[in-house]
Structure 1
Amino acid sequence: MSELTAGTITTLEVSHKAPFGYFLTDGNQEVLLHEHDVTEPLNEKDKLTVFLYHDHQQRIAATMTIPTVRFDAFDWATAVSQHKKYGVFLDIGTSKDLLLSKDDLPYESIYWPQPGERVFCSLKLDKKKRLFARLADEQIMQTQSVPAPETMQNKTIQATVYRQLEDGIHVISEEGYLGFVHNNEQSGTLRIGQVITCRVIAVKENGSLNLSMKPRTYERINDNAAKILTYMNSRDGAMPYWDKSLPEDIKKRFGLSKGDFKKALGQLMKENLLYQKEGWSYLTKDQKADQEHHS
């Protein structure tokens, strides 16, 4: 008969009651079903389907709670605590938390999941047959995803970080869309398991998304600059005004002093949204596209 192994689901028979639970047997080996892992009244000779794990003394123990995270099944598990020496402990529904080893996490702990955040994982054994969490790789996440429709362009979504690369992060949205946030489009330090709010800046042919956490142009600029952009957009991206226009012309068209008008133009040029040439101001190509998406 094969050896009982942590992480497996098996059927065992109740051998006898103990002060702190029940001993179960496969006819060859006995394991403890601790009283806090018992979910219904038991009698000797009852046959039970149980999940096997290592207790705090690293002995094989049993629980009647069958987790959805298994060797052959991935699911979301919630981070319970961080230990810099070991990694992150996860709640998979059993009485003993599962370790996601620091060897499978980014080198710096600031990128590790914080308590309450979730990771998509299954189970694995190390060489000593100890049970650990296995993070889902790109291939697994592909099987969990659905292609995003083109109508997602410029929409705002919630997504969970599941992978970090040198040039950016990979996320999966609540709807199951896969996305990528380049370093240039990120805000702050992002962790595995963190839920972020971002907007869709491109829907790729394969249905994955390019995302940005940065605000839209009209959210970055002040009211005066927005007024100028709106006017220019109504004129196909060009206007016969620049920073040397007469104060009375500026006041009549925009209701702004020349000083405020020049500040607004300066902000738009600093954001690379506008340029000036021979008495006219023009929207850059990127700004025209952004305005069209918003309109």
Structure 2
Amino acid sequence: MKELGKISSLVITRFSPNGAYLALEEGGEVLLPKGYLKGNEKEGEEIEVFVYTDSEDRPVAVTQIPKALLDEFAVMEVKQVTKFGVFVDWGLPKDLFVPNAEIGRRMEEGQKHLVRVCMDFRTNRLIGSNKYEDFIYRDTQGFEPGDQVDVLIFELTDLGYKVLIEGSFEGLIYANEVFKPLRIGDVVKAYVKKRRDDGKLDLQLTPMGREKYEEGAEKILEVLKVRKFLPLHDKSSPESIKELLGMSKKHFKQSIGQLYKAKMILIKDDGIELV
């Protein structure tokens, strides 16, 4: 079935007490249960649905969109652990099953893991895999230092946060370079710092070079427009700067230096204020 695991626009062919039947591209029908109907649908109307299998392994259509489609990744919470595998929440009434053969690291109830939605061709069912390394691209030649990318934060290690870059590459944001709260499952913008020999990428949350200071200066200006005065200066502790602005002390000093040269702020003994 071509529609399995994907979002498709299917035509309503008929109605029954259980819901509406939709025509599949290669013939046959799939049921859209009554609970997903608004009540004003008509035969011949196209409706956008996601097709997967229900608890009895029968194809079923829903109007809900899961956290990940076929061949996509998402961070999913473990809902149940069994002797055959684990069930994870992917945003649908029926949890996604990750069989033992697809568990690459220990998964416990309540934990969040990076899971890829896959097709089990033996059973023609959708399953999950947390062996993400099997699907990661190693060739990162297309990335250059300074490139902006979208990343999914999926694991916290002693070094920092492991991230999935553009849905296909692995990277790391070092913990000592993070100055704002990050959670597993967050999607944020990051910047390529360097390309490592193993193909993975080191990233940072702020732009590189002069752009970094311009971004920091802009943030300080935005805060000053609201507060008028900030009790921060050269001798302020790194902790107080991080708490108020979410940046390092070095970044703060470079940013206020830029603003001062532009005659946009006054630097006083007890803080800074707008000119």
TM-score range for the pair, normalised by the shorter chain length? 0.3 to 0.5
Question: TM-score w.r.t. structure 1 length?
Answer: 0.45
More helix by share: 1
